[in-house]
Structure 1
Amino acid sequence: MKSPHTGTAEKIGADGAAVSAVDFGLKGPRGWAFRGVDFAAPAGSFVAIEGVSGSGRTCLLLALTGRMRATEGHAEVGGLRLPKKMAAVRRVSALGPVTGVNELDPAFTVAEHLRERALLQSRLDGGLRALFQRPARRRAAARARIDAAMESAGLDLESLPKGARTSVRDLERLEALRLSVGLALMGSPRLLAVDDADLKLSDAEREHAWELLRSVAACGTTVLAVCSEPPQDALRLCVRNATKDGESAAPAESVTFAKSAEAVDPMDSTADTTDEGTTEEGAADALAETGRS
């Protein structure tokens, strides 16, 4: 399998977006999904959002990319303030795989996913003018965009069982992750968000996944990745479940090993003092309300 190529990634990449949050929180009908998030990461950072399943990691990821509306505090992505500028943040950010929000269609082939995304991106980039381009020119532009994205994601289509005609359901977990990241990179986002980045990966596969996300960040795109076992060189944000009685869980230690970090403070998630439920319940409700926005 090919390794990500830095030169090509720079062609399709964009200047990364600095990300920060102050007392950032989101409350669902039955409790807080997350609360009290304070951190700052410079542009081009690789940020690992760490925590157990149900701790509000995915909701935090979606809120920081403008897909969920926070109810407390604020955040900024590339100078765009959340929750006020959600639409603008969505335009400069892209989602990798997020269960229930941005999943690959298992019935599609790899080629079908790539053609669909290339067509969509050409419409977004070129507007109505893209419709009047010569077919040969459109195909060449789409092919160049696809090749650059797949090389950046380290996915060699020829190595797949049926090449580009391989169905998504037949992809290995790491291959599917590479495809999702490649599709997201076709829009040259300033911020890339990936959920469950290390889910169901072996130790060797997990290291390949970190290598992929490091390479994306090294080319300038800021990366937010939800994971269970973060790499030591990432900026680490730890999310903990809130307790049912409203007291905050013991604060998780947030550690940075990256020299470019400005500040990374502990994220102390607390529950509401009423019996509205745990963080896991609040996160589930908030995510259900979000849908596929």
Structure 2
Amino acid sequence: MQTNETQSQSKTQTQSQNGPGGPREDTHLADSGTALDRASAWALAMDGVTRRYGRGGRAVHALRGVDVRLPHGSFTAVMGPSGSGKSTLLQCAAGLDRATSGRVTLGGQDLSGLGERRLTRLRRSRVGFVFQSFNLLPTLTAEQNVLLPLRLAGVRPDRTAAARMLARVGLADRARSRPGELSGGQQQRVAIARALITRPDLVCADEPSGALDPATAEDVMGLLRQAVREWGATVLMVTHDPAAAAWADRALFLQDGLVVDEANGWDAPEIAARMRSMRTTRAATAAAEVAA
């Protein structure tokens, strides 16, 4: 682990000088207006995180004390049955939802003490998002969509950085194309470029290959893998697809709001077998509860 952390710190230092969008002034600000600690040991740390919706007997416990650490420059997949808490974990990690208890630390910044305005500001510059449905604005060109996070963060748009990012995702010649003129795979490439343009501490990917055919999905997953390996990005991905999860450094398995297992370097058949085992266990538990 010490070796991995040393490599991750080296990647982070290199990225601060030459990120995926190229050299530029660091614009990431904490809630106090000062630069966040980019030398933090972890890109993301979640300690004892719970999330409860509702109260009393009808309360739903989406997360039940989750502990997660993501080193800088790592790729982590989160898997589990429907209702296991995957999406809630991703939302709490990104600051889109607040934990009921526990602590979420992003790039050295504790999110629990931030008001909504400061949390929004941090999220715009420190977190990149890749969604299954792409979420590109249809009236904007590919270049304008990529630059949108900078505009929202109050940073002067850098067209050179956008051109560099689009070139890195293989779309150098489509900067002026609108989403309707692009294939699904090309739209997801634009979304990945948009997610990386601010050099975020964390890229949150929610089923990024879910709307793509297998060949295109493989291309997109390879691009996320490249972002981690070559550009020092840190990716947290929720997926139902064992083939997608196999691209990650490790996979976390959630069940009933708890991390019940972890796999490092597993291939798709091994991950699929673990998911089948989880579903079998869950079904047996449900049957036992009904019988009782």
TM-score by length of 2: 0.64
Q: Which amino acid aligns with 1:45?
A: S
Match of residue 207, structure 1, among 209, 218, 230:
218
Look up the match of 1:3.
Answer: none
Look up the match of 1:69.
Answer: 98
Look up the match of 2:177.
Answer: 166
Match of residue 106, structure 1, among 118, 138, 151:
138
Look up the match of 1:216.
Answer: 227
Query: Per the alignment, in what secondary structure is the counterpart of residue 203 of structure 2?
Result: strand
1:135-166: per-residue Cα shift (whole Å, max 9, x none)? xxxxxx722111122133x13142xxxx4443
The range that moved more, 213-222 or 77-86, is 77-86
Query: Per the alignment, in what secondary structure is the counterpart of residue 130 of structure 2?
Result: coil
Q: Which amino acid aligns with 1:105?
A: L
Q: Which amino acid aligns with 2:263?
A: V
Change (3 A) 1:68 1:57: same
Change (3 A) 1:90 1:233: closer
Structure 2 Cα separation of the partners of residues 22 and 117 of structure 1: 28
CA contact (8 A) 1:49 1:224 kept: yes
Asked if 1:59 corresponds to 2:88, the answer is yes
Q: Which amino acid aligns with 2:227?
A: V
Match of residue 147, structure 1, among 154, 163, 174:
163
Match of residue 226, structure 1, among 225, 231, 238:
238
CA contact (8 A) 2:225 2:248 kept: no
Query: Per the alignment, in what secondary structure is the counterpart of residue 218 of structure 2?
Result: helix
Look up the match of 2:67.
Answer: 38
Cα shift at 1:197: 1.7
Cα shift at 1:182: 0.7
Cα shift at 1:48: 0.9
Q: Which amino acid aligns with 1:146?
A: A
Q: Alpha carbon RMSD of aligned pairs, Å?
A: 3.3
Number of aligned positions between the proteins: 225
Structure 1 Cα separation of the partners of residues 86 and 172 of structure 2: 32
Q: Which amino acid aligns with 2:262?
A: S
Match of residue 44, structure 2, among 12, 16, 19:
19
1:170-229: per-residue Cα shift (whole Å, max 9, x none)? 433322221111112221212111111220333332322222112222222211111122
1:74-107: per-residue Cα shift (whole Å, max 9, x none)? 232222224234727525522323479x822234
Task: List aligned pairs for 1:87-126, cutoff 5 A.
Answer: 87=119, 90=123, 93-98=126-131, 103-114=135-146, 116-117=148-149, 119-120=151-152, 124-125=154-155
For structure 2, list consecutive stretches of 5 or more residues without a partner in the other structure.
1-14, 27-37, 267-277, 279-292
CA contact (8 A) 2:206 2:238 kept: yes
Change (3 A) 1:58 1:155: farther
Change (3 A) 1:222 1:69: same
Structure 2 Cα separation of the partners of residues 84 and 182 of structure 1: 30
Structure 2 Cα separation of the partners of residues 169 and 196 of structure 1: 21
Query: Per the alignment, in what secondary structure is the counterpart of residue 9 of structure 1?
Result: coil
Query: Per the alignment, in what secondary structure is the counterpart of residue 37 of structure 1?
Result: strand
Percent identity of equivalent pairs: 24
- Greater helix content: 2
Look up the match of 1:175.
Answer: 186
Look up the match of 1:47.
Answer: 76
Structure 2 Cα separation of the partners of residues 226 and 200 of structure 1: 14
CA contact (8 A) 1:19 1:78 kept: yes
CA contact (8 A) 1:12 1:148 kept: no
For structure 1, list consecutive stretches of 5 or more residues without a partner in the other structure.
1-5, 131-140, 243-247, 259-267, 269-293
Structure 2 Cα separation of the partners of residues 20 and 155 of structure 1: 32
Change (3 A) 1:19 1:114: closer
Change (3 A) 1:78 1:165: closer
Look up the match of 1:280.
Answer: none
Change (3 A) 1:25 1:8: closer
Look up the match of 2:252.
Answer: 237
Q: Which amino acid aligns with 2:255?
A: R
CA contact (8 A) 1:174 1:205 kept: yes
Structure 2 Cα separation of the partners of residues 69 and 144 of structure 1: 36
| Displaced runs of 4 or more, over 4 A | 12-17, 115-121
